Structure 1
C-alpha cells in the first residue's frame, strides 16, 4: 500500500534506502531524532504509539499530538478507501459470436502433442 500523506508521514525525515529490497527506508523521527529502518507502517507505529509492530514509540510526542495524528490518519485512510473504484473489469473480453472454449485450451490442445508426435514419427 502506498503511504497516505499525513502528518505522520511528514514528521519523519527520510535518510535513504534501507539495506535489502522492499519498501524499507532509513528514517529519523523529527521529534526524538532516533534513526530507524522500516516501512511507512513503522513510521506510523512510532508516532502513534502502536504496539506489536516491532518499533518503539516516540516518547517526545505528547498525547495531544497523538490524537491529532490519529485523526488525520483516519481521515486520510477513509478518503483513500472511499475513492477506490468498484467497476467490474473482466479478465478477458469475449467477442459476440466467439466460442469461449477456444479462449481457454488445455496445454495438450494448445501444442497439439499428438500431431507433433505423428510428424516426428514420420520424419525421423
Structure 2
C-alpha cells in the first residue's frame, strides 16, 4: 500500500512540474503514472550500474556527477514513455533535482501525519 501511495504522489508531482518548466511536457495523468513507474524501475535496476561504472568520475567531482546520472535516468524515461518529453539533459537534471526535493518534502509530510 505504501508503494502505491508513493507512486501516486510521484505521478502528481510529475504532472505538476511541467507547469513550471517549459522544457518538460507531460500529456496526461496516465503518462505521469507511467513516468513514475518507469523512473522507479530505472532507479532500482539501471542507476546502480551507472553509478558503479562512473564511480571514479563521481568521486573526482565530489558527487556532483550524480546529477548527470539522475538527468540521464530522466532522459531514458523520456525514451520509453510516450507523451513525456524532455528537451535536453539540462532540463532533465533540473527536473530530477526538483522532483527529488518535492518527493522528500511530501513523503516526510505524509509520514508525519501518521
TM range (shorter): 0.3 to 0.5
Structure with the larger strand share: 1
Q: Which has the larger radius of gyration?
A: 1
Higher relative contact order (CA 8 A, sep 6+): 2
TM-score, structure 2 normalization: 0.38
Q: Which structure features the higher share of helix residues?
A: 2
TM-score when normalising by structure 1: 0.35
